[in-house]
Amino acid sequence: MDRFAINRILKLTDIRSEYEFEKISSLYLQLRKKTKTSDVDYQDERNHLKKLIKEYEHKNWLKEEDISEIQIKESDTAEDLVRKENEFNQKRKELIKKRLKEYSLNQNDLAKILGHRKGYMSELINGLRPFSKEDIIILNQLLKIKLEDLMPPFIKYSKVIKVKKALSSISKDKVNLKEVSLLQIA
Protein backbone atom coordinates (compact mmCIF):
# COMPACT_ATOMS: atom_id res chain seq x y z
CA MET A 1 0.00 0.00 0.00
CA ASP A 2 1.23 3.46 -0.87
CA ARG A 3 2.47 5.29 2.24
CA PHE A 4 1.05 8.53 0.86
CA ALA A 5 -2.40 7.29 -0.15
CA ILE A 6 -5.10 9.52 1.24
CA ASN A 7 -6.42 6.83 3.61
CA ARG A 8 -3.00 6.51 5.28
CA ILE A 9 -2.04 10.16 5.73
CA LEU A 10 -3.14 10.47 9.34
CA LYS A 11 -1.00 7.43 10.23
CA LEU A 12 2.20 9.15 9.11
CA THR A 13 4.35 10.06 12.09
CA ASP A 14 7.34 11.63 10.41
CA ILE A 15 9.03 12.56 7.16
CA ARG A 16 12.05 10.36 6.50
CA SER A 17 13.69 11.93 3.45
CA GLU A 18 13.72 14.83 1.02
CA TYR A 19 11.62 12.74 -1.34
CA GLU A 20 8.97 12.25 1.33
CA PHE A 21 9.14 15.94 2.17
CA GLU A 22 8.50 16.90 -1.46
CA LYS A 23 5.77 14.25 -1.80
CA ILE A 24 3.98 15.41 1.34
CA SER A 25 4.32 19.09 0.38
CA SER A 26 2.81 18.32 -3.01
CA LEU A 27 0.03 16.29 -1.44
CA TYR A 28 -0.71 19.14 0.95
CA LEU A 29 -1.21 21.50 -2.00
CA GLN A 30 -3.31 18.95 -3.90
CA LEU A 31 -5.63 18.54 -0.91
CA ARG A 32 -5.94 22.30 -0.59
CA LYS A 33 -7.04 22.55 -4.24
CA LYS A 34 -9.26 19.48 -3.96
CA THR A 35 -11.05 20.90 -0.90
CA LYS A 36 -12.02 23.97 -2.93
CA THR A 37 -13.51 21.91 -5.78
CA SER A 38 -15.00 19.02 -3.85
CA ASP A 39 -17.62 18.33 -1.25
CA VAL A 40 -15.01 16.39 0.76
CA ASP A 41 -13.23 18.29 3.52
CA TYR A 42 -9.60 17.22 3.91
CA GLN A 43 -8.91 19.65 6.77
CA ASP A 44 -7.67 17.00 9.24
CA GLU A 45 -5.32 15.56 6.64
CA ARG A 46 -4.05 18.99 5.63
CA ASN A 47 -3.43 20.03 9.24
CA HIS A 48 -1.56 16.80 9.90
CA LEU A 49 0.60 17.23 6.79
CA LYS A 50 1.29 20.86 7.66
CA LYS A 51 2.55 19.77 11.09
CA LEU A 52 4.83 17.13 9.56
CA ILE A 53 6.18 19.64 7.02
CA LYS A 54 6.98 22.22 9.69
CA GLU A 55 8.71 19.60 11.86
CA TYR A 56 10.84 18.39 8.97
CA GLU A 57 11.80 21.90 7.87
CA HIS A 58 12.70 22.84 11.43
CA LYS A 59 14.84 19.72 11.86
CA ASN A 60 16.57 19.75 8.45
CA TRP A 61 16.52 23.23 6.96
CA LEU A 62 16.50 25.67 9.87
CA LYS A 63 20.21 26.49 10.11
CA GLU A 64 21.70 27.61 6.82
CA GLU A 65 25.22 26.65 7.90
CA ASP A 66 24.10 23.03 8.43
CA ILE A 67 22.72 22.63 4.90
CA SER A 68 25.12 20.61 2.75
CA GLU A 69 25.54 20.42 -1.02
CA ILE A 70 24.43 16.77 -0.81
CA GLN A 71 21.24 17.82 0.96
CA ILE A 72 20.55 20.46 -1.69
CA LYS A 73 21.16 17.97 -4.49
CA GLU A 74 18.89 15.40 -2.81
CA SER A 75 16.21 18.08 -2.43
CA ASP A 76 16.49 19.08 -6.10
CA THR A 77 16.27 15.44 -7.22
CA ALA A 78 13.27 14.79 -4.98
CA GLU A 79 11.52 17.91 -6.26
CA ASP A 80 12.11 16.79 -9.84
CA LEU A 81 10.77 13.30 -9.16
CA VAL A 82 7.61 14.53 -7.48
CA ARG A 83 7.07 16.97 -10.35
CA LYS A 84 7.35 14.08 -12.83
CA GLU A 85 4.90 12.00 -10.80
CA ASN A 86 2.43 14.87 -10.71
CA GLU A 87 2.78 15.43 -14.45
CA PHE A 88 2.15 11.73 -15.07
CA ASN A 89 -0.95 11.76 -12.83
CA GLN A 90 -2.29 14.89 -14.55
CA LYS A 91 -1.75 13.42 -18.01
CA ARG A 92 -3.44 10.17 -16.97
CA LYS A 93 -6.36 12.09 -15.47
CA GLU A 94 -6.87 14.13 -18.64
CA LEU A 95 -6.63 11.01 -20.80
CA ILE A 96 -9.20 9.11 -18.73
CA LYS A 97 -11.60 12.05 -18.77
CA LYS A 98 -11.14 12.48 -22.52
CA ARG A 99 -11.85 8.80 -23.17
CA LEU A 100 -14.86 8.78 -20.87
CA LYS A 101 -16.28 11.69 -22.85
CA GLU A 102 -15.57 9.91 -26.15
CA TYR A 103 -17.54 6.89 -24.93
CA SER A 104 -20.33 9.08 -23.48
CA LEU A 105 -19.48 7.95 -19.96
CA ASN A 106 -18.86 9.98 -16.86
CA GLN A 107 -16.87 9.47 -13.69
CA ASN A 108 -19.90 8.02 -11.87
CA ASP A 109 -20.32 5.45 -14.64
CA LEU A 110 -16.67 4.49 -14.30
CA ALA A 111 -17.05 4.20 -10.52
CA LYS A 112 -19.93 1.75 -11.05
CA ILE A 113 -17.95 -0.25 -13.60
CA LEU A 114 -14.93 -0.53 -11.30
CA GLY A 115 -17.08 -1.11 -8.22
CA HIS A 116 -16.00 2.04 -6.39
CA ARG A 117 -17.95 4.82 -4.74
CA LYS A 118 -17.95 8.27 -6.32
CA GLY A 119 -15.55 9.93 -3.86
CA TYR A 120 -13.08 7.06 -4.07
CA MET A 121 -13.16 7.22 -7.86
CA SER A 122 -12.37 10.93 -7.72
CA GLU A 123 -9.39 10.25 -5.45
CA LEU A 124 -8.12 7.59 -7.87
CA ILE A 125 -8.41 9.83 -10.91
CA ASN A 126 -6.77 12.74 -9.08
CA GLY A 127 -3.83 10.60 -7.97
CA LEU A 128 -4.68 10.75 -4.27
CA ARG A 129 -5.00 6.96 -4.20
CA PRO A 130 -3.23 4.43 -6.37
CA PHE A 131 -5.21 2.46 -8.95
CA SER A 132 -5.20 -1.29 -8.41
CA LYS A 133 -3.73 -3.54 -11.07
CA GLU A 134 -7.26 -4.73 -11.90
CA ASP A 135 -8.52 -1.15 -12.30
CA ILE A 136 -5.66 -0.39 -14.68
CA ILE A 137 -6.38 -3.46 -16.79
CA ILE A 138 -10.06 -2.58 -16.99
CA LEU A 139 -9.23 1.01 -18.00
CA ASN A 140 -6.84 -0.32 -20.62
CA GLN A 141 -9.38 -2.67 -22.13
CA LEU A 142 -12.52 -0.59 -21.67
CA LEU A 143 -11.19 2.83 -22.65
CA LYS A 144 -8.40 1.64 -24.97
CA ILE A 145 -5.72 3.53 -23.05
CA LYS A 146 -2.18 2.22 -23.34
CA LEU A 147 -0.83 0.54 -20.21
CA GLU A 148 2.21 2.84 -20.19
CA ASP A 149 -0.20 5.80 -19.94
CA LEU A 150 -1.99 4.20 -16.98
CA MET A 151 0.87 2.69 -14.95
CA PRO A 152 3.39 5.10 -13.50
CA PRO A 153 6.92 4.24 -14.63
CA PHE A 154 8.33 5.00 -11.19
CA ILE A 155 10.12 2.65 -8.82
CA LYS A 156 9.68 3.06 -5.08
CA TYR A 157 12.70 4.69 -3.48
CA SER A 158 13.26 1.75 -1.10
CA LYS A 159 13.46 -0.61 -4.09
CA VAL A 160 15.93 1.66 -5.88
CA ILE A 161 18.23 1.53 -2.84
CA LYS A 162 18.04 -2.29 -2.80
CA VAL A 163 18.73 -2.56 -6.55
CA LYS A 164 21.69 -0.16 -6.36
CA LYS A 165 23.11 -2.06 -3.40
CA ALA A 166 22.73 -5.37 -5.24
CA LEU A 167 24.31 -3.96 -8.40
CA SER A 168 27.29 -2.64 -6.46
CA SER A 169 27.87 -6.07 -4.90
CA ILE A 170 27.84 -7.92 -8.22
CA SER A 171 31.14 -8.38 -9.99
CA LYS A 172 31.36 -6.22 -13.11
CA ASP A 173 32.65 -9.17 -15.20
CA LYS A 174 29.59 -11.22 -14.19
CA VAL A 175 27.16 -8.56 -15.31
CA ASN A 176 27.32 -6.70 -18.58
CA LEU A 177 25.13 -3.74 -17.76
CA LYS A 178 25.37 -0.32 -19.25
CA GLU A 179 24.85 2.59 -16.91
CA VAL A 180 21.63 1.77 -15.05
CA SER A 181 19.39 4.78 -14.68
CA LEU A 182 16.96 4.52 -11.83
CA LEU A 183 16.10 8.21 -11.94
CA GLN A 184 12.43 7.48 -12.26
CA ILE A 185 11.77 6.57 -8.67
CA ALA A 186 8.88 7.07 -6.33
Which segment, 71-75, 84-88, 107-111, 180-184, is predicted with the most confidence on average?
107-111
pLDDT of residue 1: 41
Provide the percentage of residues in the chain whose pLDDT is more than 70.
85
pLDDT of 159 higher than 80: no
pLDDT band at 6; cut points 50, 70, 90? confident
Pairwise CA distance, residues 127 & 84, whole Å: 13
pLDDT band at 164; cut points 50, 70, 90? confident
pLDDT of residue 181: 56
Contact 150, 110 (CB under 8 A): no
pLDDT of 185 higher than 50: no
pLDDT, tens digit (0-9, with 9 covering 90-100), for 118-150: 988 988 998 888 899 999 999 999 999 999 999
Element (H, E) at 74: helix 69-102
pLDDT band at 162; cut points 50, 70, 90? confident
pTM of the model: 0.77
**What mean pLDDT value characterizes the chain?**
85
Q: Which residue has the higher pLDDT, 129 or 157?
A: 129
pLDDT band at 88; cut points 50, 70, 90? very high
Helix (H, G, I), strand (E, B) or coil at 118: helix
Provide the percentage of residues in the chain whose pLDDT is more than 90.
46
| Neighbouring residues of 2: CB distance < 8 A, sequence distance ≥ 6 | 8, 129, 130
pLDDT of residue 128: 83
Contact 35, 43 (CB under 8 A): yes
